[in-house]
Structure 1
Amino acid sequence: MTPRSALRDLSFSAVIAGFIAVLVGYASSAAIVFQALQAAGAGTEQIGGWLTMLGLGMGMTSLGLSLYYRAPILTAWSTPGAALLVTSLPGYSVNEAVGVFIFASGLILLCGVTGLFARLMQRIPQAISAAMLAGILLRFGLDAFIALQSHFALAAGMCLAFFLTRRLAPRYAVVAALGVGLAVAGLQGQMTFAGKPLTFAAPHFIMPHFTLSSLMGVGMPFFLVTMASQNAPGIATLKAAGYRVPTSPLIAWTGLASLVLAPFGGFSVCIAAITAAICMSPEAHPDPARRYMAAAAAGGAYLLAGLFGGSIGMVFSALPAALIHTIAGLALLGTIAGSLHRALLEDTHRDAAIVTFLLTASGVGFFGIGSAFWGLAGGIITWGILALPGKTK
């Protein structure tokens, strides 16, 4: 693909979708990542450097993979993995934490190189993948309207702008909603950018230290949670949206990126699911073949975010939570509807799909693994039981 052909596929709506994806990613989980890095024993300056590496890593992989495969492949940090680190890393040194990052990244790279993960994903029916995606995104759709209760003027104004613009100019519906949200939040004094300067935080190499207790007690669960709760939904999101990209290379490239960044604090680079869905939505571009530029634009936004390290996360956090929830939910309406349609389309997979959807949306978790994995597992088990040979009445 030539740079000229990529520029032809670039659109304003794709740039906005990419920006919103990064905005939602940072605003929704930056606090968890901060806590995880603090739990790893990193000081304030180190946290800024680590976030610099995360931003640069996610930016380069999102941009490179999206342009190469011409598909909206967005990467992200592992939010479930970060949540696990918050509770598991206290008591370990920062060097042991880096050893954990390297260990888990090496295992992910191994999964990609051997193709084990790809073979598993190929056997999952599309209806179950779509149902899991719908279950993951349900909370975001609900949050868009729950915000009406606490921030009526903000959420109602954004919803009204979204649907009016969708009626007249669908490609710019999310842009209009974001503009109205920023205007209302500004008029109400809900945006507080004062005292949040943009600064570059240089990353520093940290010598890893490997111990059996840290690798088995933190590293192995971190690997399982990242694969089950981040990479699996990410690959399923691409599959459910109709993008046929090779699974193993994606896992291998993100695993390699994490492995390289780990000594500098880049604890994970994974295939994104929720934020990637924004780049795959019709609002990014009416033509699915051109939506890859939304993920590429998000990669550019990640690179800019990485240049400013931890400060950019604080800037995103200055926006009111209701604005983030509403814009995310509105941006994902089309994806939620499409996922539910694909999940329930075939009679033979409908029961398994609804089990997957409900389990995923319930938020249940066992053994530190989130509901996305259990929804997928429950749907596959249901599908297997119903597919057993025998007569039905």
Structure 2
Amino acid sequence: MFRDISFPAVYIGLLAAFVGYSASFAIVLAGLTAMGATESQAATGLFFATIGMGVCSIWLPAITRIPAAVAWSTPGAAFLAATAVLPGGFAEAAGALIYSAGLIVLTGLIPAIGRSVAAIPKPIANALLAGVLFKLCLAPALALGEIPLLVLPVLGAWLLGLTWHRLAAMPFAVIAFLLVLVFIVELPSGLGPSAPTQWLPALAPVAPIFTLQSFFSIALPLYLVTMAGQNIPGFSVLELNGYSVNRPPMLRVTGIVSLAIAPFGAIPVNMSAITAAMMAGEDAGQNRATRYWAAMTSGIAYVLLGFAAGFVTTLASIAPIALITAVAGLALVPALVGAISAAFRDTAQLEAPALTFLIAASGMTLFDISGAFWGVIVGAVIWRAKSWAAAARAPGQ
């Protein structure tokens, strides 16, 4: 195995880890905070989510010998950030995270569940994803009106990175965010690398509360957006690059790890899509058989980054909330554009994804169940009704 190590694979693996972490850590923190986590609980959740995707990114490629990279559920974190706090607070949210991880494990054990999820019309699934991303994607515009002097440097750096390479946009924005904190926002005395106790958070599990409301309002939509927004595209990236993928065992591994970290408030981990494309392509080496080292390298980097969770969370807590959500929203713009484009690609079926998107984005609740769940139900009913009506008219045409 060690004979397969190559410089391109190691380089791309490190780059993928930097891009993946810098582009989405703010989304994870925003999601945990929105669910009622304290600063310490958010840092703990960030730590275990980072360690979880690091362990899986080492484990799966080592077993399969393919660049099966793993990431945390960025769409899932965005969904949490746009959802109202549950009555039981972060403890009830932890119960929902355990529910969701359990569903991923079941999907790996019972292929019929995976087929049922895949049977959801793709425009409906993409409309759901767009709906849960939409609210957070408004944050950069809202922050620009509220704190323009803090947001403009971040937007400028994001644009500069985007004109160079789309994957550079968020790392540039994060660097600008850090510079804004150093030069514009006053940092507390003693904060910095010389304070080692701030790097690793005080780790503590959350005593979960399990309710039906949290299952339908949080766990089930979180599971659906994780499958539709990360796992299914992640598998497709590997297959498009010529790799044979056995999906159930990979789902079992990511599900079991997600189940292990959920009691600590960590969001689920899943197959990577965007950074996996980097590691499965020719940039990771001409020899396809050795590119798995790119994913393993990213996993090692994630494990190391996990030990900076306390420091990262402390920095994020110093910044105005509007600035943090603005950075998170910028990271989600490409995903929102892609989801909306895919949702409305079929001109004969526009109403179903439109209603799914609007209901999921509205923030409404019905019978204490969030709009994300009802958006899928309403969209699926409209989709099937129109399909049946079109099929009934077809013989007479």
TM over 0.5: yes
Report the alpha carbon displacement of residue 237 of structure 1 after superposing the two structures with TM. Answer: 0.8
Equivalent position of 1:28 in the other structure: 30
Q: Please report how far the alpha carbon of residue 384 of structure 1 lies from its aligned counterpart in structure 2 after TM superposition.
A: 0.7
TM-score normalized by the length of structure 2: 0.70
Where does structure 2 lack aligned partners over 5 or more consecutive residues? 240-244, 285-290
> What corresponds to 1:161 in structure 2?
157
Question: Across the two proteins, how many residue pairs are aligned to each other?
Answer: 367
Q: Which runs of 5+ in 1 are unaligned?
A: 39-43, 209-213
Out of 161-170 and 195-204, give the one that drifted further.
Answer: 195-204
| Paired residues for 1:368-383 under 5 Å | 368-383=368-383
AA matched with 1:153: L
CA distance in 2, matches of 1:168, 1:104: 38
Change (3 A) 1:345 1:108: closer
2:228 matched to 1:230? no
Task: Tell me, yes or no, if the aligned pair for 2:97 and 2:268 is still in contact at 8 Å.
Answer: no
Taking the aligned partners of 1:30 and 1:47, their CA distance within structure 2 comes to 6
Quick one: distance in 2 between partners of 1:104 and 1:338?
24
317-326 or 245-254, which deviates more: 245-254
Per the alignment, do residues 223 and 81 of structure 1 end up closer, same or farther by CA in structure 2, a change over 3 Å counting?
farther
Amino acid at match of 1:333: V
Q: Post-superposition shift, 1:368?
A: 4.9
Kindly indicate whether residue 137 of structure 2 is the aligned counterpart of residue 141 of structure 1.
Answer: yes
**Which amino acid is the alignment partner of residue 115 of structure 2?**
R
| Pair 175,258 (structure 1): closer, same or farther in 2 beyond 3 Å | closer
Paired residues of 1:59 and 1:303 also in contact (CA < 8 A) = yes
Say if 1:36 and 1:85, in contact at 8 Å, map to a contact too: no
Matches within 5 A, 1:29-178: 29-32=31-34, 35=36, 53-62=48-57, 64-65=59-60, 70=67, 73-76=70-73, 87-88=87-88, 109-178=105-174
1:7 aligns to what? 10
Q: Secondary structure of 1:74's match?
A: strand
Instruction: Report if the CA contact (8 A) 2:150-2:323 is conserved.
Output: yes
What CA distance in whole angstroms lies between the structure 2 residues aligned with 1:70 and 1:101? 27
Residues 359 and 371, structure 1, Cα contact 8 Å, conserved in 2? yes
Structure 1 distance, partners of 2:142, 2:46, is 31
Q: How far apart are residue 56 of structure 1 and its match?
A: 2.7
Stretch deviating more after TM superposition (166-175 or 138-147): 166-175
Pairing 1:307–2:307 present = yes
| Mean Cα deviation higher: 172-181 or 373-382 | 172-181
| CA–CA distance in structure 2, aligned partners of residues 318 and 36 of structure 1 | 16
1:225, 1:370 within 8 Å by CA — same for their partners in 2?
Answer: yes
Given that 1:105 and 1:268 are in contact with CA atoms closer than 8 Å, whether structure 2 keeps it comes out as no
**1:17·1:278 contact (CA, 8 Å) conserved in 2?**
no
Change (3 A) 1:191 1:237: farther
Summarize the alignment of residues 134-283 of structure 1 with structure 2, pairs less than 5 Å apart.
134-192=130-188, 194=190, 197-198=197-198, 200=200, 218=210, 221-225=213-217, 227-238=219-230, 239=232, 243=237, 248-261=248-261, 265-266=263-264, 270-271=268-269, 279=275
CA positional deviation for 1:127:
1.9
Q: Which moved more, 1:311-320 or 1:294-303?
A: 294-303
* 1:28 partner letter: A
Aligned residue number for residue 288 of structure 2: none
SS of aligned partner of 1:348: coil
CA 1:226–1:302 in 2, change beyond 3 Å: closer, same or farther?
farther
Secondary structure (helix, strand or coil) at the match of 2:210 reads: helix
Q: Report percent identity of matched pairs.
A: 25
The TM-score, its normalising length taken from structure 1, stands at: 0.71
**Aligned partner of 2:111: which letter?**
G
Choose 355-364 or 319-328, whichever is displaced more.
319-328
